[in-house]
Structure 1
Amino acid sequence: MPASPAPAPLTDAQSGLLTRLTDDLDGAGLWWISGYAAGLARARALPAGAPVAAAVAAAPPVADAAPTVTVVYGSQTGNARRLAEKLSAELEATGASVRLLRADAYPTRELKDEKRLYIVISTQGEGDPPDDSIGLVEFIRGRRAPKLPQLGYAVLGLGDSSYPQFCEIGRILDERLAELGAARLFERGDADLDIESVATPWLQRAVDETRTLVAAATASAAPAHSATVTPLRPLQQSAPAHDRDRPFQAELLAGHRLSAASGPRSPQGRDVRHFELSLEGSGLHYQPGDALGIWPRNPPALVDEVLATLKLDGDATVQAGGDERPLREWLGARRELTRLSRPFLAAHAERAGDGDLLALLQPERRDDLARLFDSHQIADLLHLHPADWSADALVDALRPMAPRLYSIASSQKHVGDEVHLTVAHIEYEAGERTRWGSASNFLARAAEGDRLPVYVEANERFRLPADPDRDIIMVGPGTGVAPFRAFVQERAEIDADGRNWLFFGNPHFRTDFLYQLEWQRAIRDGHLHRVDLAFSRDQAGKIYVQNRIREQGRALYDWLENGAHFYVCGAIAMGKDVHAALLDVVAEHGGKSREDAEDYLNQLQQQGRYARDVY
């Protein structure tokens, strides 16, 4: 006969408080609070006769000596978080005590006592850490980092080999922890956009290592000192019906151009479009700040060009990874054609016998390699440096197609079962040939009524204040304005009393003022309280949003001092320029040194009042 559940040692009032505390926490928050509570329990040993039913369950006991394993992740687009969550679940199944923490929630004072640590972290841009990891990376790299002779660790880095400093942050942390005396449990994994090929064996190695550790600890533990912890809520929540691996086929309801036609087409793309898709029947929900993932198809004309250049038959059957399909389908939907990668460049240079291409892979040619990746697609490389490829070898060498993430430009409270996007359609001339962006062209080619594979990628780091009375400052030039359309819609729907201030920039007022009528209507209705505009090409001297920030520094600093939240969305380079301007504002109007101004902004980030979504 199964044992009945043990009564919880909480009063009804305490249980109610606990429920209210945990209801709005995400996974990382729940893991943090569980670790915090466990620490309190260790510090406050239960007196004799105290109720222990919550700690001791009827299930088979797990030894007190079961090792504690910490998993820390730093994620910009959600991939590192997804892998860290998977790892934590699999480590738990071994019997280990596991805590999962986002990098900005990790208490750095505890690093000196850590025994087993797994880090899953991405690299963005030119070798930068994700925004949620800046503080932890700086601490580990800095002089305050402790010696770590007791620590066993492993690092999984995520990156994009089309950037020269591929997986740079993972490498830095891996080498620095070894410098501090920690023992590397196994080699670092450096995962490209085909993440699973590297991540899957790395995760399995971590699970195997932990299983061995648990077995040793269990064998040496005394039976009398054993207990299991009854979780406050099920750790395994039901999976959503649609996610990255099971996208929803969303109907395209509408699409129109936001920017007016102007000048020649360029790689930067001034053709900005607004798209509306239906999520009806999907069960998908999103919050302002989240992103929509889209699985694209390459432009058919680009597929035809690659086939013609290599003189390959698009109907030829190719097997790869246990899958079999025509070559044209591999190139259309399963492989990247618009992004060059370091592995493909190396493989093509070998086939072409091209020493100049191989030389680009040397560390001292990093800048030249970056320019090549920025200006060339697969088809350009095939034209300029001819080489023979078989269909099978080509499919094996090309990177798997990766989904594209777009900041959601709508509030679900306002639009219901719809989701809106703001997308720059990339189409430009490269010599005599036309080039496109993969996902933006996929959207641009879609007709109303077509169905597109999508999923929601949560972004917990980019959320509106929980207190609707707080002011917000939004910096979103170009398509970076997308999430702020969602922010303003959401704040209007909930009747937030906090003020909204928008900084927006683009080249020209006449052609590039995205959502101009909506912003004017929001000002009229009292939902947008301040707007500062920077149209860089409308006067002799270029003016950008960072210039406007410096101009409005006194007022901006006053808003921050009164509790405002500051948000930035857009290109990485712009984010760095805005950060520099914000430092200047805090130093000048706060009467602070440069170092103190840095500390001020770091504190805002730690408080969740300075958030960036840069790409």
Structure 2
Amino acid sequence: MSAPALLATPLPADRLDSLARLTDGLDKDSLWWLSGYAAGLARAGGGLAAAVQAPVADARSGERLSIVYGSQTGNAKRLAEQLAGQAEAAGLNVRLLRADAYPTRELKNERLLYLVVSTQGDGDPSDDARGLVEFIAGKRAPELKQLSYAVLGLGDSSYPQFCAIGHKLDARLAELGAHRLFARGDADLDLETVAAPWLQQALAQAKETLKPAAAHLATVTPLRPLPSAPAHHRDAPFAAELIGNQRLTQAIAGRYRSDKDVRHIELSLEGSGLHYQPGDALGLWPRNPPQLVEAVLHTLDLDGDAAVAHAGQELPLRQWLSEKRELTKLARPFVASHAAHARSDELNRLLAPDQAAALTDLLANSQVIDLLQRYDGHWSADELVAALRPLTPRLYSIASSQKLVGDEVHLTVAHLQYETAAGTRWGAASHQLASAAEGDRLPVFVEHNERFRLPADGSRDVIMIGPGTGVAPFRGFVQERAADGAGGRNWLLFGNPHFRTDFLYQTEWQAALKSGQLHRLDLAFSRDQSHKVYVQHRLRERGRELYDWLQNGAHLYVCGDATRMAKDVHAALVAAIAEHGGKSAEDAEDYLNQLQQQGRYARDVY
């Protein structure tokens, strides 16, 4: 949303710049809250403590809890917000900050700090935590003998460096002299198992360390009532009606036959009250394919109608496996459990530290049913439900702008389905979406992503790098910019295997070029020639133009695969900036880091 033109204002130019940075990317509800906050400041004569509805306490860091989160998909943010809310309700003086907003100069004065940080891919920090991790790990980090801290790490045990960033920060803070209040938590995808007791312990320790602030409260006077919590969210999803399911890839016989089944999905949000901005994600609570559930029951010779009680809930085993437990993602803890049930020396050897690569390959290329079929073992229904990880929602980058589609939300979904010697395998959510018929209802919610926002200044240029289904958010970006009448240029770089079969939204991009909504389109179809060409090659070829756009204030976005593409694209960006900016590789990295800190280099990688 473009900022409105300002009329005569008492603000000096530097304060206007600060205001623009403050409001850049905020949604409507946040702006209304900010307007009320400003009104409260004015009513109270400009005093901060008199404007915020929070306990009045000494603002010195010695009497304050700082909670800092680094989040890629929203889980770390959600847990940090939960802890902050509980601490505030207990009367504690709390500040909650995203990692890239944390003023590192204040670290030397902190007394109580909780870090909630995720690890991405092969041991990488979330994009918003990169700068803070580098600072704490680097030579500029101060001694921290006055600091008490605790760390909650989030990760995926399918990767060798599980929760590596949490480990790194925990060890480094101790090395700098800080006092660890209690043991680090390492939460897997079933994060509540570890996160819930960690949060409980964190709150109890904060209460003991800090005295609850005085009960005196000062109030804010908003221009309008503050928005209430949405009726539908992660834990109370909306049953959205499927109104469109179209295959985007083409199955042309011969050399150009597409190996991919990519779908354009349209869902109705009418009556939900849900709102989103381009850059946000749609969460879906999936159901496992019925054929897969029956295969597990058959392999283990279990009764699907048998009642199983677990964690205070009793359901038939078939319902547990259909709606509550992960079957399409294999995790290390389940491999360890099945090794014991099957008494398998082979599986036990895979769990050894020197077999990390082999275990990673097994986790990446096998599902629960594969393990059960290859290694015969006896499981009771109760044991199986307890050992499997809870089913988690899947997030899809939204491929539309509500300014164009209204009460609809569009997705670009790669349907995961492949054949093995033992039968067909599917991805739970992608198969659910691809198999859905018009009129079916699917449980969804909106996951906001404030880090992946269009510039508030519509005159800024944007560069969008999105191979494969990573192009999804940029469809929404272009729609939004067109609806706003943004004057900045739009440059899209897209890649996929074949032009004839895999050019997602081809006619839309061509129409956007013709109408002037898209100003530049660079394509990389990797298998249409003898040598492979990817988007990172196009970036190097267009390095001069890329650097010129960035020098003139363009915002840069990358969306797609985190494992390989994002790293290759980042390396290409560094090389182009170094070559055409006359910089060393280290200075080019610093240049990109500065863009990221300014909100001009954003990634949505998964």
* TM-score with structure 2 setting the length: 0.90
Structure 1 residue aligned with 2:4: none
- Structural mapping, 1:79-478, within 5 Å: 79-215=75-211, 230=219, 238-261=228-251, 270-478=260-468
In 1: Cα distance, 2:509 partner to 2:288 partner: 34
2:55 and 2:93 in contact (8 A); partners too: no
Structure 1 residue runs of 5 or longer lacking an equivalent are 1-11, 42-49
1:435 to 1:54, Cα distance in 2 relative to 1, 3 A: closer
Structure 2 residue aligned with 1:609: 600
Query: 3-state SS of the aligned residue for 1:132?
Result: helix
In 1: Cα distance, 2:225 partner to 2:269 partner: 27
2:281 and 2:446 in contact (8 A); partners too: yes
Structure 1 residue aligned with 2:542: 552
In 2: Cα distance, 1:553 partner to 1:149 partner: 46
In 2: Cα distance, 1:503 partner to 1:60 partner: 47
Query: 3-state SS of the aligned residue for 2:557?
Result: strand
Offset at residue 22 of structure 1 (A): 7.3
Matched, 1:482 2:478: no
Offset at residue 19 of structure 1 (A): 10
In 2: Cα distance, 1:152 partner to 1:296 partner: 40
In 1: Cα distance, 2:603 partner to 2:21 partner: 27
What per-residue deviation string (whole Å, max 9, x for no partner) do you get for residues 330-349 of structure 1? 11111000000111111000
What amino acid maps onto 2:124 in structure 1? D
What amino acid maps onto 1:158 in structure 2? L
In 2: Cα distance, 1:101 partner to 1:13 partner: 30
Query: 3-state SS of the aligned residue for 1:145?
Result: coil
Structure 1 residue aligned with 2:503: 513
What per-residue deviation string (whole Å, max 9, x for no partner) do you get for residues 230-268 of structure 1? 45769985211100000000000010100012689xxx9
In 2: Cα distance, 1:22 partner to 1:532 partner: 33
* TM-score with structure 1 setting the length: 0.89
Matched, 1:497 2:500: no
In 2: Cα distance, 1:211 partner to 1:393 partner: 37
2:461 and 2:490 in contact (8 A); partners too: yes
Aligned counterpart for 2:532 among listed residues 518, 524, 542: 542
In 2: Cα distance, 1:604 partner to 1:517 partner: 32
Structure 2 residue runs of 5 or longer lacking an equivalent are 1-8
What amino acid maps onto 1:154 in structure 2? A
2:57 and 2:93 in contact (8 A); partners too: no
What amino acid maps onto 1:374 in structure 2? A
1:243 and 1:456 in contact (8 A); partners too: yes
Moved more, 317-326 or 284-293: 317-326
1:56 to 1:437, Cα distance in 2 relative to 1, 3 A: closer
What per-residue deviation string (whole Å, max 9, x for no partner) do you get for residues 50-103 of structure 1? 979874699998553881111100000001111111111111122221111100
1:74 and 1:122 in contact (8 A); partners too: yes
Matched, 1:587 2:562: no
Moved more, 204-213 or 400-409: 204-213
1:269 and 1:424 in contact (8 A); partners too: no
What amino acid maps onto 1:240 in structure 2? P
2:49 and 2:56 in contact (8 A); partners too: no
1:58 to 1:432, Cα distance in 2 relative to 1, 3 A: closer
In 1: Cα distance, 2:225 partner to 2:593 partner: 32
Query: 3-state SS of the aligned residue for 2:124?
Result: coil
Q: CA RMSD in A?
A: 2.9
What amino acid maps onto 2:180 in structure 1? R
2:55 and 2:92 in contact (8 A); partners too: no
2:117 and 2:152 in contact (8 A); partners too: yes
Query: 3-state SS of the aligned residue for 1:123?
Result: strand
Query: 3-state SS of the aligned residue for 2:376?
Result: coil
In 1: Cα distance, 2:459 partner to 2:226 partner: 35
Q: How many aligned positions are there?
A: 578
What amino acid maps onto 1:444 in structure 2? A
In 2: Cα distance, 1:481 partner to 1:189 partner: 35
Query: 3-state SS of the aligned residue for 1:337?
Result: coil
In 1: Cα distance, 2:50 partner to 2:461 partner: 47
Structure 2 residue aligned with 1:46: none
Structure 2 residue aligned with 1:598: 589
1:269 and 1:426 in contact (8 A); partners too: no
Query: 3-state SS of the aligned residue for 1:455?
Result: strand
In 2: Cα distance, 1:138 partner to 1:57 partner: 35
What per-residue deviation string (whole Å, max 9, x for no partner) do you get for residues 149-182 of structure 1? 0000001111112222211111111111111110
In 1: Cα distance, 2:188 partner to 2:23 partner: 36
